[in-house]
């Protein structure tokens, strides 16, 4: 079982916490990380590209000219895809690009991401992040004290002051332990987790 220091907001050690090896010190599997990130990115894709087919463009109801005698090629409708202003052949239509991972793979990918942060020494455990008021300046000073740049902060329970204080700082994201995902873990250099959030994460993933 791995151990890591618990820090307070003054960047001082206040204790230690045991981390389950099967959650925070497991084998890192890059192919699972790739799959999880791919699913996340595809889920955010709009899929709104759309074109009109020959039956949807305006006009094209009558034959442009008679069949024979004009010297032109035969034409039945101006909505044909070969005409300028006509429909598009095999054009894109709104669709969903979503992929899905089964529950076991999702958990394994999250374990790999957490383990990578621990093994790279990019994991910090805080005793708590209890802000007395929602002030961006106050939160910025805490980040400076902890020597953190663009971290992902994971907490447990409700912490509206943290949400409000962090949302105006570029590159910083705070989220509940229930919303923890591989993409956000990999996107941020440092992963900061409160002691209570560690317990919940281990409970879910162990």
**Contact yes or no for 134/169 (Cβ under 8 A):** no
Task: Answer yes or no: do 84 and 184 share one domain.
Answer: no
* CB contact set of 123 (below 8 Å; sequence gap of 6+): 4, 24, 114, 117, 190, 191, 193
Residue 20 has pLDDT above 90, yes or no: yes
pLDDT attached to residue 161: 92
For position 28, which CATH number holds? 3.40.1370.10
My answer on whether 7 and 82 are in the same domain is no
pLDDT tens by residue, 129-164: 988 889 999 999 999 999 998 999 999 988 899 999
Q: Which two tokens stand for residue 189?
A: 């250099």
pLDDT tens-digit map of 89-109: 999 999 999 899 999 999 999
111 and 152 share one domain: yes
Mean pLDDT, rounded, for 8-22: 93
pLDDT tens-digit map of 31-76? 999 999 999 999 999 899 999 999 999 988 899 999 999 999 999 9
**143 and 114 share a domain?**
yes
- Mark whether 116 and 23 lie in a shared domain: yes
What is the pLDDT at residue 149?
86
Average pLDDT over residues 168-183: 94
CA distance 75 to 67: 7
Verify that 108 and 197 share a domain, yes or no: yes
Pair (187, 131) in one structural domain? yes
Residue 206: band (very low, low, confident or very high) from pLDDT cuts 50, 70, 90: confident
How far, rounded to the nearest angstrom, does the alpha carbon of residue 153 sit from its chain's CA centroid? 14
User: Are residues 72 and 28 located together in one domain of the fold?
Assistant: no
- Pair (106, 55) in one structural domain: no
> Is residue 136 domain-shared with residue 102, that is, in the same domain?
yes
Coil/strand/helix, residue 185: helix
Q: Please, which residues have CB within 8 angstroms of residue 153's CB and are 6 or more apart in sequence?
A: 129, 162, 166, 172, 173, 174, 175, 192, 193
What are the backbone angles phi and psi of residue 144, rounded to the nearest 5°? -70, -40
- Domain identity same for 62 and 156: no
**How far apart (Å, rounded) are the C-alpha atoms in residues 7 and 80?**
69
Q: Order of strands, edge to edge, in the sheet holding 13-19?
A: 13-19, 2-7, 123-126, 191-194, 152-155, 173-176
Tokens describing residue 49: 């590209």
Beta bridge partners of 175: 154
Give the pLDDT band of residue 12 (cuts 50, 70, 90). Answer: very high
**Same domain flag for 30 and 65:** no
Query: Of 28, 59, 91, at which residue does a domain stop?
Result: 91
pLDDT at 93: 94
**pLDDT reported for residue 157:** 87
Query: For residues 172 and 143, is the Cβ–Cβ distance under 8 A?
Result: yes
Q: Which structural domain range is residue 111 located in?
A: 2-46+98-205
Q: How confident is the model at residue 118 (pLDDT cuts 50, 70, 90)?
A: very high
Last residue of a domain, one of 68, 91, 114: 91
Domain count for the chain: 2
The confidence score (pLDDT) of residue 33 equals: 97
Q: Compute CA distances 1 → 18, 24, 25, 115, 125, whole Å.
A: 6, 9, 8, 13, 16
């Amino acid at each position: 079982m791995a151990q890591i220091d618990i820090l307070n907001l003054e960047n001082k050690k206040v204790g230690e916490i045991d981390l389950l090896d099967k959650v925070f010190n497991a084998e890192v599997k890059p192919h699972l990380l790739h799959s999880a990130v791919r699913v996340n990115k595809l889920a955010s894709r709009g899929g709104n590209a759309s074109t009109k087919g020959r039956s949807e463009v305006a006009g094209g109801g009558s034959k442009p000219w008679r069949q024979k005698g004009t010297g032109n090629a035969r034409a039945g409708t101006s909505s044909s895809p070969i005409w300028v202003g006509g429909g598009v052949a095999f054009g894109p239509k709104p669709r969903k690009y979503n992929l899905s991972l089964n529950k076991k793979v999702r958990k394994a990918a999250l374990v790999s991401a957490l383990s990578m942060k621990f093994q790279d020494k990019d994991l910090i455990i805080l005793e708590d992040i209890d802000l007395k008021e929602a002030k961006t300046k106050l939160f910025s000073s805490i980040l400076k004290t902890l020597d953190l740049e663009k971290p992902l902060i994971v907490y447990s329970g409700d912490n509206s002051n943290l949400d409000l204080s962090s949302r105006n700082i570029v590159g910083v994201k705070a989220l509940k332990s229930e919303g923890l995902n591989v993409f956000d873990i990999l996107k941020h250099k440092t992963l900061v987790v409160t002691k209570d959030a560690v317990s919940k994460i281990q409970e879910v993933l162990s």
